[in-house]
Chains A and B, each alone.
Chain A
């Protein structure tokens, strides 16, 4: 399932996938895979992404 919240949060900060990837320490393709729903990140990666985007886990990764 696509992670549109992540995509929206990233776009809200006017950040590209590459910039977010560099900040978090992963490849751009991994960020792309997470946003497309092709990859489920570990909790550590989720926390790193939340920290980079200034959001909580619930806001980015919790299914409603």
Chain B
């Protein structure tokens, strides 16, 4: 008898742990514990071959030793970093050399381009760092600088050819837009553990749902109403997916396309839940309603907490668009909706009972 109870108990423990822990997987904070994003614009003047200012300096601090992914970029103001190939080299009026130095003055990274949006992975120790942007319009000055700071003499000549000196536009006063993001790279081990946990959770969920079918018991009216609810949910998902695709194509919302499509599933779920709960077809005859509501409450609360943490840490926005943590918000909204519908239904039943008593 005891052995028969152990397996269901283990299944429930794994499911509960998964429900509580997995929402953190939506948030990058689970794998990356240091994220910072900077964007700024600067006006640069080119006149008679002289760039003003000649250089810009940005200091930043790394709080913790680790391997960091540094996202960086610069391009004329108004350009779309996701469509960088649309920028013409003649739109750029000077070459930019970007260098990162540690606190001892040692150069740890360098690159050069007229415009760029890329990322690199560097191992950084905790401390102060300096990033310098140096501007060139003159090929010879650039080669001289490159020989001393970037590469050997022959390499500097080739580099000047490669970056396209001579194709840049002439005198101008332009606004350049700069990006710099840095985040700790999630360790491979941690990602693997996370994936294993998700697989374990899904397997357990399948086992649980398969066994649950034997215990579920919906009466004929509930089956009919659930059928209607599934239909409404299905067409709602279809509609919201089309809407998500349209919004992504038109660029009307600042959300990554794949996140928008994932979020589009939730309206369908919400419609199914609202309809089936209102028509008293969600909980089967053998379901313990209070236990399920407690579980929904826990899931909703955990998702809300994770979302709030993501907002406070500044991880809700990534490169000007809403990131994965927005799905935690959507989850929390869905479970708030479940509670609201259950509450309204209970009030409605209570009112009906009073009217029946009067009859």
Contacts and interface: CB of A to CB of B under 8 A. Distances in A.
B91 interface: no
Contacts of B222: 27, 30
Interface in A9-64: 25-27, 29-30, 32-33, 39, 41-42, 45
Contact of B220 (A26, A29, A32): A26
A interface secondary structure, majority: loop
A5 B198 CA distance: 55
Nearest to A38: B221
B280 to A, nearest CB: 4
Interface size class of A (residues with CB under 8 A): 10 to 19
Contacts of A45: 219-220
Nearest to A25: B219
B219 A39 contact: no
B37 to A, nearest CB: 52
A27 B282 CA distance: 12
B206 interface: no
Contacts of A39: 221
Contacts of A27: 219, 221-222, 280, 285
Interface size class of B (residues with CB under 8 A): under 10
A42 B285 contact: no
Nearest to B285: A27
Contact of B280 (A29, A41, A42): A29
Contacts of A29: 221, 280
A29 B219 CA distance: 10
Interface in B212-229: 219-222
A61 to B, nearest CB: 15
Nearest to B221: A30
A42 B219 CA distance: 11
B228 to A, nearest CB: 12
A28 B285 CA distance: 9
B342 to A, nearest CB: 14
A29 B222 CA distance: 9
Nearest to A35: B356
Nearest to B217: A25
A20 to B, nearest CB: 13
B284 to A, nearest CB: 9
A41 B352 CA distance: 21
Contacts of A30: 219-222
Contacts of A26: 219-221, 285
A41 B285 contact: no
A45 B220 CA distance: 9
Contacts of A42: 220
B278 to A, nearest CB: 11
A32 B349 CA distance: 10
B181 to A, nearest CB: 54
A45 B222 CA distance: 13
Contacts of B280: 27, 29
A23 to B, nearest CB: 13
A43 B336 CA distance: 39
16 contacts: A25-B285, A26-B219, A26-B220, A26-B221, A27-B219, A27-B222, A27-B285, A29-B280, A30-B220, A30-B222, A32-B352, A39-B221, A41-B220, A42-B220, A45-B219, A45-B220
The 7 closest A-B pairs by CB, nearest first: A26-B219, A29-B280, A30-B221, A39-B221, A30-B219, A27-B219, A42-B220
Given A41-B220, A41-B221, A45-B220, 7 more contacts: A26-B220, A27-B219, A27-B280, A30-B220, A32-B352, A39-B221, A45-B219
Interface of B: 219-222, 280, 285, 352
